[in-house]
Chain A
C-alpha cells in the first residue's frame, strides 16, 4: 500500500507539479513516457513517487514518444489506469498512436504541456500541438492555470473512464506560462481525491483470461465507417457526462467548471474567445475596460473537443463583435477557433462580426495592453457597423502589418 503524501490546504505548485500530483492521487497503474520539455517534470515526478513508495505503479521507460503512447495503449488494453505526458515534437511523434488509442476506446489520460512545433525549433508555449490533436478522437480539456491543471487531470480520469464514454482524454496547459509558473493551488487530500476518481472499472481487459479478446482488429469498407461513427457519437455524448462530473467536482471543491467558460458576458457588447492562460489575461483587460465603460467579456472553450458548438452559440448570442484568438500558425487558413466559433455563430439570428487574430506563437508575450487594443478594435467594428480591418490579423508581430481578407460588401 502506497504511503500518503502530506498535502496542505494551500500549496504553491506549478502546473507540472500539480498535474503529477493528480496522477499520483488517481493511483495511475502505468506511466510509459519519453520526457520532453516543458512537460518533463510531470512524468519525472511520477517516477519519483513510484521510487519513493507514494504510488503503487509502474514507470516504463521507452525509446520514443511513439513507443510511449504504444506502451500506454498496451497497458490500457490490458486493464490498467494509464497516463503519460508530452509536448510539441513528442506529441507529433505520438500522433499515429493517438488515433489507435481513441479507436480502441482506451481511457488513457495524456497531460499535454502545449509547446510550439518546429521549425524553427522552440521550447516555448503555443497551441500548435493541441491543434494537431483536434481530429484524433480524444477529448481535449484545457486548463488556464496551475490549479486547473490539477483539477482537470483528476476530472479527466472520471470522464474518460465513464462507461458511457470510454475515450482517451488530453488535459492541456500552456508551456512555461502554466507549467513552470508556481501559484496558489488548493488540492484535495489523497483520500478525497481518490474517492472522487474511484476505482478503475475494466472493460474487455486483455488480461481477463476468462474472456480472451483482440483489440483494434482490421476492418475495411465493410466495418470501418460504423466504428468511426460510433466513436464520434461517444465523443458527442460525452458532453453530458463532462457536465455531470464538473458539477460533482464543484460540489467537492467549490470550483465550478463549465464546458464553455463565460466571464462578464451578461451584458457584453464585445468579446474575445481564447484558450489557455490568455483567457485569464483577457479577463484582466476586460475588467479594466469595464471601468472605462466598455462592455467587454471573455468566452473560453474549456472543452476543445468535443467542440461545444451549442454552448458557444449560447454564450455569444447577444454580442455585436467577437475576436477569436488562435495561438497556432494557421497554415494557409483562418485559425481553427475562428472557423469553429464562426460556424456556430452563423446559425444564430444575431450573426455578430467575427475577426481572427493569430498571436503568441513560440511563446511571444501576450499583454493586457494588447488584449485591450483588440477589444477596442471590436468596439470600432460595432460603432462602424461592419468589420473595419482585415478579417485575419497578426497580433504582436514585428514588421509591416500583416492581414488577410476583407468583408465582401457590394
Chain B
C-alpha cells in the first residue's frame, strides 16, 4: 500500500514539468489549444484516472516530484476518511476512491503540507517526513494520541 505509482496509468508523471518536446511554429496547435485526452473523451468522467488516455500536454503526464523537500506520509490506521485533505489539496494529489482515502499521488504532490494542516484526527493521519524517508520508517515514528490538557 501507498506505492509511489498508486492508481497511476503508465504515463503519469512521465516527464519533468517543462521538459516537453519543443516543436516549430508549423507544428504548434493553433489558438494555444491543448487537448486534455487522446481521442474521444465521451464518458471520461466515469473512468478512473488510470484508465483515461491523458494527452502529452495534460499535467497528469508531467511530474513535479523533484520540487519537494519534504513529503506527506499517510497513515491509514488513523484516518477517518473525512475527505478534508482531498478537498484542500491544491494539486489534486490525494487519491480517494468511494470516499475512502487511499494515499498520495507523489508525481504531483509538491510537499506544501496543506493536507497535514487540515487533518483533524489525533494523532494526524498525514505527517511530513524528509523526502528520502522509507514508509515503514515513517510509520514506526508515528506519534501517540495526545491527551487533552487538564483544565
- Taking CB atoms and an 8 Å cut-off, the chain A residues in 379-410 that contact chain B are 397-400, 402
Determine the chain A residues whose CB is within 8 A of the CB of B23 once the complex forms.
398-399
| Count class of interface residues, chain B | under 10
CB of B24 within 8 Å of the partner chain: yes
The answer on a CB contact under 8 Å between A399 and B32 is: no
The one of A119, A397, A398, A402 that contacts B32, using a Cβ cutoff of 8 Å: A119
Q: Which of chain A's residues has its CB closest to B32's CB?
A: A120
Chain B nearest Cβ from A126, distance in angstroms? 16
The answer on a CB contact under 8 Å between A400 and B32 is: no
Q: Which among A119, A120, A397, A399 has the highest number of chain B CB atoms within 10 Å?
A: A399
Chain A nearest Cβ from B18, distance in angstroms? 14
CB of B22 within 8 Å of the partner chain: yes
Chain B nearest Cβ from A403, distance in angstroms? 12
A-B contact count (CB 8 A): 17
Q: Which of chain A's residues has its CB closest to B27's CB?
A: A399
Per the bound structure, the CA–CA distance linking A301 and B32 in Å amounts to: 33
- Taking CB atoms and an 8 Å cut-off, the chain B residues in 44-75 that contact chain A are none
Q: Which of chain B's residues has its CB closest to A394's CB?
A: B25
CB of B144 within 8 Å of the partner chain: no
CB of B77 within 8 Å of the partner chain: no
Determine the chain A residues whose CB is within 8 A of the CB of B136 once the complex forms.
none
Determine the chain A residues whose CB is within 8 A of the CB of B27 once the complex forms.
399
Determine the chain B residues whose CB is within 8 A of the CB of A402 once the complex forms.
25
Per the bound structure, the CA–CA distance linking A402 and B23 in Å amounts to: 15
Chain A nearest Cβ from B138, distance in angstroms? 38
What are the interface flags for A232-264 relative to B under an 8 Å C-beta threshold, 1 for contact and 0 otherwise?
000000000000000000000000000000000
Chain B nearest Cβ from A357, distance in angstroms? 15
Determine the chain A residues whose CB is within 8 A of the CB of B22 once the complex forms.
398
Chain A nearest Cβ from B106, distance in angstroms? 28
CB of B26 within 8 Å of the partner chain: yes
What are the interface flags for B1-44 relative to A under an 8 Å C-beta threshold, 1 for contact and 0 otherwise?
00000000000000000000011111100001000000000000
Q: Which of chain A's residues has its CB closest to B26's CB?
A: A399
Determine the chain A residues whose CB is within 8 A of the CB of B24 once the complex forms.
397-400
Chain B nearest Cβ from A285, distance in angstroms? 25
Determine the chain B residues whose CB is within 8 A of the CB of A398 once the complex forms.
22-25
Q: Which of chain A's residues has its CB closest to B22's CB?
A: A398
Chain B nearest Cβ from A119, distance in angstroms? 5
Per the bound structure, the CA–CA distance linking A398 and B24 in Å amounts to: 4
Per the bound structure, the CA–CA distance linking A402 and B26 in Å amounts to: 10
Q: Which of chain B's residues has its CB closest to A121's CB?
A: B32
Determine the chain A residues whose CB is within 8 A of the CB of B25 once the complex forms.
397-400, 402
Q: Which of chain A's residues has its CB closest to B28's CB?
A: A399
Determine the chain B residues whose CB is within 8 A of the CB of A119 once the complex forms.
32
Per the bound structure, the CA–CA distance linking A400 and B25 in Å amounts to: 8
Per the bound structure, the CA–CA distance linking A173 and B14 in Å amounts to: 39
Chain B nearest Cβ from A124, distance in angstroms? 14
Chain B nearest Cβ from A365, distance in angstroms? 14
Chain B nearest Cβ from A371, distance in angstroms? 21
Per the bound structure, the CA–CA distance linking A398 and B25 in Å amounts to: 6
Q: Which among A119, A120, A398, A400 has the highest number of chain B CB atoms within 10 Å?
A: A398
Per the bound structure, the CA–CA distance linking A397 and B26 in Å amounts to: 11
Per the bound structure, the CA–CA distance linking A137 and B148 in Å amounts to: 70
Per the bound structure, the CA–CA distance linking A99 and B96 in Å amounts to: 54
Chain A nearest Cβ from B39, distance in angstroms? 25
What are the interface flags for A342-377 relative to B under an 8 Å C-beta threshold, 1 for contact and 0 otherwise?
000000000000000000000000000000000000
Determine the chain A residues whose CB is within 8 A of the CB of B32 once the complex forms.
119-120
Chain B nearest Cβ from A382, distance in angstroms? 30
- Taking CB atoms and an 8 Å cut-off, the chain A residues in 102-152 that contact chain B are 119-120
Per the bound structure, the CA–CA distance linking A119 and B28 in Å amounts to: 14
Chain B nearest Cβ from A43, distance in angstroms? 28
Chain A nearest Cβ from B26, distance in angstroms? 5
What are the interface flags for B119-136 relative to A under an 8 Å C-beta threshold, 1 for contact and 0 otherwise?
000000000000000000
Per the bound structure, the CA–CA distance linking A119 and B24 in Å amounts to: 18
Chain A nearest Cβ from B71, distance in angstroms? 29
Chain A nearest Cβ from B32, distance in angstroms? 4
* 11 sample A-B contacts, Cβ–Cβ < 8 Å, listed by A number: A119-B32, A120-B32, A397-B25, A398-B22, A398-B24, A398-B25, A399-B24, A399-B26, A399-B27, A400-B24, A400-B26
Q: A398-B25, A399-B25, A399-B26 are in contact. List 6 more A-B contacts (CB 8 A).
A: A119-B32, A120-B32, A397-B25, A398-B23, A399-B23, A402-B25
Closest CB pairs A-B (n = 9): A399-B24, A399-B25, A398-B24, A120-B32, A399-B26, A119-B32, A400-B26, A397-B25, A398-B22
